[in-house]
Structure 1
Amino acid sequence: MLGLSLGQSAFYAALRLVERLTREQALSQQTATLNPTRSPRPYLDLTYQVAGIAFALVPVALALYLLSDHGRSSLRRIGLDGSRMGRDLGVGVGLSALIGIPGLAFYLAGRALGLNVLINPAGLDAYWWTVPVLILAALQNALLEEVVAVGYLMERLLELRWSVPAIIAASALLRGTYHLYQGPGMAIGNVVMGIVFSWYYLRRRRVMPLVVAHTVLDVVSFVGYAVLPAEWLEVLGVA
């Protein structure tokens, strides 16, 4: 399962970091572009973007299928259902603030120390569909990472009778590893995020608040970067 999704991403992210560190250019002078434009032709670019989002959700469907247990809904098993939507939304927004505000400070500190690349969260050109696609990309990232790296992985490790600290460490380290292409500083920050999210999941066995939190974080990052004036981004230190 991991070899088809985030495990593969982690492997290539580690290789990407090695490639970045062996360039003549300093790591802090390099850029990682998320959601890049795939074609100069707008509607072909839109097709690429939507197809990429759809295919990235296939591992999510596979993970949910593999988590099905004797007729028991995998959505209910990992808490991805709408039975507590109001509470899940509230907790998710709270978690996004808990992670997002210190996360920005951590990113800027990493940039100052030369541990992170400059991240361009939204490389798309300005079209009528840019913001909707960025929102869909944020939701796709949240579903893929939280269902696979938290719900699926942790349920499987519980079945294998791993200890709680080992399960949390495995999930958090996986999250950090597939972010290595952004630099070791961002990888460490994502490990911290992974510890918080894993701890919450083991306590509540609900992945929905984590999907909400992750979606909010990415929407703010992707859409904010796409629509805020360049001078604002410079003040925030992200451009």
Structure 2
Amino acid sequence: MTDRKTELAENLANVEERIARACAAAGRRREEVTLIVVTKTYPASDVRILSGLGVRHVAENRDQDAAPKAAACADLPLKWHFVGQLQTNKVRSVVGYADVVQSIDRARLVTALSKEAVRAGREVGCLVQVALDADATGRGERGGVAPAGIEELADLVAGSPGLRLDGLMTVAPLTGEYAGREQAAFGRLMDLSTDLRRAHPAATMVSAGMSADLEQAVAAGATHVRVGTAVLGVRPRLG
């Protein structure tokens, strides 16, 4: 445990230094960027260590892993983010622990989340996931909606009981015009965020950037970065 704590502390310090440098280079204050540590595939014991090291935001992408982990860490001062593609049959469980769902990509999901949030007496923050590589169907390789679909989905979230529209999320595309152009992709997301805030001024959250491209996200103006591997190490392969 001590060795793991040392390892996580060193990795966390390195990531903090990267974020601080990126903020300085962009003329931003360090407190403008929130680090979310993506703890998927790692045990609750790691989440406990991270909490002790000052981490306050963690993210998961599979409910079957996240639900028991969140329950085991319910005593910790953590904010849980759900970042994976969410099936409607998992919504009741996710609403039980997630403070923010970052992967809103369809109206049916909004309806299901609203119903369960009201039933649970909770307010769940929502980010519309933007697919910058959206194809003719309006969806991207990693989920999300095309930029043209943001307004309608955002309005639906904002008007749904139990839900709070917090902003936008994206994953740097692997294909299409933004492939290999992470900063341009994140810059596009910032433009879309500016458009969104005209109608929804409180939707200020912009979640972008991961272990490999957090600097580009900070340079573009992201408010939250989602970092897993750089903090926790290379993930074991799931069988």
The structure whose residues are more often strand, as a share, is 2
Question: Using CA pairs below 8 Å that are at least 6 residues apart, which structure has the higher relative contact order?
Answer: 1
TM-score by length of structure 2 reads: 0.25
The structure with more radius of gyration: 1
The structure whose residues are more often helix, as a share, is 1
TM-score by length of structure 1 reads: 0.25
